Structure 1
Amino acid sequence: MPTRRALGAAALSLLAAPALRAQGAWPNRPVRLLVGFPPGGFTDVVARAIAEQYTAILGQSFVVENRSGASGTIAADAVAKAPADGSVLLLGHSTPNAVSAALFSNLPFDPQKDLTAVAQLAVHPHLLVVPAASPFRTTADLITAAKARPGAISFCSAGIGSVHHTACAMLAQKAGVEFTHVPYRGSGPAMADLIAGRVDMTIEGINTVGPLIEDGKLRPLAAGTLARISRLPNLTTLQEQGYGDIDAQSWVGIFGPAGLPAAIVARLGTASDQAMGAPAFQRILTTGGSIPANRRGADFQAFLALEIERYKAVLGDGKIAL
């Protein structure tokens, strides 16, 4: 006859079986994918494109939910405080997930400890642009005007502490001028006012400004990255123009709450690899001028730590006033 211990073990295994099946069946209900910026910007576009791919690959709905504000940190904080069961994920961005950690001491979450890095999806090169009707034909024209009228030249960004904000602040520091910052709740509304001439300039991702340049609404003055941008190979960099080693670029990727089960991280990583190979998703990235990224799991987590330290080196020494 079976011993009492054997019967107890069998009973426990029966109780555990549904939980194991449920865990293995992830996702077994719709998954919310939070985005820290409003509809219309490239982060939102990537979120909707990857959600469509995940839905097809994983057989469950992935629903994009925009929670804009505070440079993307509202959405990141919501995911950091969500259950670690894969029901809520974040389309993270370098601003809330890296820049904010270097810039703000009072964040309600720790980007490294309270979030699980799952899959980096794309890197976006940035460039310096002005409205098509701007009188500034070169970066030198812009800097000359800024020196003549301190604070009169304005720039827009997707929010305080955003990559665009820090890049423009770095340019001001390198050039020895003063710009006026006009923050917005995302790149979409910022671009609308830039095109209209309500602000003078910005340093923004090519995925956002590329189509506007092609449509004749914006004029590029310089590549904000250390290397020239393949989509505009004749556009010289700010470094080539004599404004120092500015390297303005941003990235997006999938994050979950801390403690996200390894099995879910692995499945999302595999699904991300499949999504990156889909022609529809590839078109989204290449049309926007973005560079596909393949960091997954621990590799992405290690990259995040390096990014935070890189921004701390720029912002934490007091050289850049924001």
Structure 2
Amino acid sequence: MRKTITSVSGAALLLISVAACGDASGSQEQGEASANYPEENLTMIVGYGPGGSTDVGARLMADALEDELGVNVTVENKEGAGGQVGLTAVANADCDGYTFGTANFPSAIVSVLDESRGATYDRESFAPIALQVVDPTAIVVAQDSPYDTIDDLLAAAEENPGDILYTTTGVASNEHFAMAAVEEATGAEFAPVHFPDGGGAPKTAFLGGEVEMYVANVSDVVEMTENGQGKVIGIMDSERSPFLPDVPTFTEAGHDVEISSSRGYAFPACAPEEAVTTISETMGTIMEDEEFQTKMKELGLAPSYKNAEEYAGYWTETEGTFETLFPLVREEGK
């Protein structure tokens, strides 16, 4: 029988209502950009708090945009509801092409799929600009764990269904979806321990021996493994991570599981096409720079640029993946 555990400190998913300065459905009148765009300073809305991986990557990009475009880029952190507060602000921003923001997957997708979240936006509310980071999901176990490989772990989970506990940062979080995908692909059964408030609680629980598995993005586990706080036994991607080159992927182990957290940028849907194109192409130029790539890698962020058109297609593809998995997550009530 499957078990679901929610941390005592967890709270229900936040329902938010934001007074809109426009129609977040994306039906605002299309803006127009000047021939010399951008002539004014830009605002980048980051839907997460200062110091996190999304914030540091976004600020790195903001600094580079200033150098390339010759205007200031002000970063505004609007955290809350797993990025939903920031996304709402982006969807409702002016149509002049001077305000854009971060769009993280799966949060930007799940907040729409989950009707209980009360999102006032949908996919059509945004004009994708560019993708910056793809951060695959990894599984970490204790250094002295009997599980040394993906198959070791799966065999134990099949023999003792629902007994092996793993961490998530909340119901319908990236980690939750990732393990639902593993279960669907392999038939193994695990039990989540949800920490809806996120932060360091999942890692603390793992290090304290309260759970057997710490599920997180590669960027979140590199340092802890270097410090001997756990061993990564598998990454949910088709190719090995440059940050953990010795760790095999689920694909190598014969399991079709590819789940990542990705970070990009979007304007409100009504932004001028010229603005979208200009910012997208400028980000592309920035991400071709070797020094910028080095800075990203030093932060544990794997550069993965897609332009506006490519990112739009990636958004649609990723939306389809999580839409397929969402009933599994909701059915399990995990």
Q: Find out whether 1:59 has 2:80 as its counterpart.
A: no
Residues 26-37 of structure 1: matches in 2 within 5 Å?
A: 26-29=38-41, 31-37=42-48
- Counterpart of 2:315? 304
Does residue 88 of the first structure (1) align with residue 99 of the second (2)? yes
Distance 1:168 1:226 in 2: 16
Identity %: 25
Does structure 1 conserve the Cα–Cα contact (< 8 Å) formed by 2:50 and 2:77?
yes
- Count the aligned residue pairs: 302
87-96 or 258-267, larger mean C-alpha shift: 87-96
- For structure 2, the residue ranges without an aligned partner over 5 or more in a row are 1-30
> In the alignment, is the contact (CA less than 8 A) between 2:172 and 2:329 conserved in 1?
no
One of 50, 69, 76 as aligned partner of 2:80: 69
CA contact (8 A) 1:103 1:312 kept: no
Distance 1:69 1:197, change over 3 A: farther
Q: Deviations over 1:85-117 (max 9, x none)?
A: 234321111122234444547542334211110
Matched, 1:210 2:222: yes
1:138 deviates by: 4.1
Counterparts of 1:20 and 1:232, CA distance in 2: 45
Q: For the residues of structure 2 that align with 1:61 and 1:160, how far apart are their CA atoms?
A: 38
Q: Render the CA deviation track for 1:199-225: whole Å, top value 9, x for unaligned.
A: 432332212212222222231011222
Partners in 2 of 1:133 and 1:35 — Cα distance?
Answer: 39
Structure 2 Cα separation of the partners of residues 190 and 318 of structure 1? 19
Q: Please tell me whether residue 262 in structure 1 is matched to residue 277 in structure 2.
A: no
Alignment of 1:94-105 (within 5 A): 94-104=105-115
Q: Whole-Å Cα distance in 2 between the matches of residues 72 and 21 of structure 1? A: 28
Letter in 1 for 2:289: A
Q: CA 1:188 to 1:91, structure 2 compared with 1: closer, same or farther past 3 Å?
A: farther
- Hey, what's the Cα distance between the residues in 1 that align with 2:312 and 2:144? 43
Counterparts in 2 of 1:239 and 1:296: CA distance versus 1, 3 Å: closer
Structure 1 residues 319 and 157: CA distance shift in structure 2, 3 A: closer
Q: Which amino acid aligns with 1:49?
A: L
Letter in 1 for 2:216: E
Deviation at 1:70?
A: 2.5
Quick check: 1:232 aligned with 2:244?
A: yes
TM-score (norm 2): 0.76
TM-score by length of 1: 0.79
Per-residue deviation at 1:144?
6.0
Within-5 A mapping of 1:54-203 = 54-104=65-115, 107-132=118-143, 136-139=147-150, 142-143=153-154, 153-173=164-184, 174-186=186-198, 190-203=202-215
Question: Aligned AA for 1:207?
Answer: S
More helix by share: 1
Instruction: Give per-residue Cα distances to partners, 1:188-207, cap 9 Å, x unaligned.
Output: 55445444445432332212
Instruction: Describe the SS at the equivalent of 2:79.
Output: coil
Question: Could you tell me whether the CA contact under 8 Å between 2:49 and 2:77 is conserved in 1?
Answer: yes
Contact 2:176–2:329, Cα closer than 8 Å, also in 1: no
Residues 231 and 74 of structure 1, relative CA distance in 2, 3 Å threshold: same
SS at match of 1:91: strand
Query: Is the contact made by 1:27 and 1:58 (CA closer than 8 Å) also made in structure 2?
Result: no
- The two structures, once aligned, show a CA RMSD in angstroms of 3.2
**Structure 2 Cα separation of the partners of residues 152 and 61 of structure 1:** 52
Output the CA distance in 2 between the equivalents of 1:306 and 1:32: 28
- Determine if contact 1:102/1:316 at 8 Å carries over to the other structure: no
Check whether the contact 2:48–2:83 (CA below 8 A) recurs between aligned residues.
yes
CA distance in 2, matches of 1:272, 1:44: 16
Q: Deviations over 1:155-180 (max 9, x none)?
A: 22334322222102333453432312
Instruction: Kindly provide the amino acid, as one letter, of the partner of residue 200 in structure 1.
Output: E
C-alpha distance in structure 1 between counterparts of 2:33 and 2:274, whole Å: 13
In structure 1, the gaps of 5 or more residues are 1-18
The CA deviation at 1:264 is 1.2
- Partner Cα distance (1:136, 1:123) in 2: 27
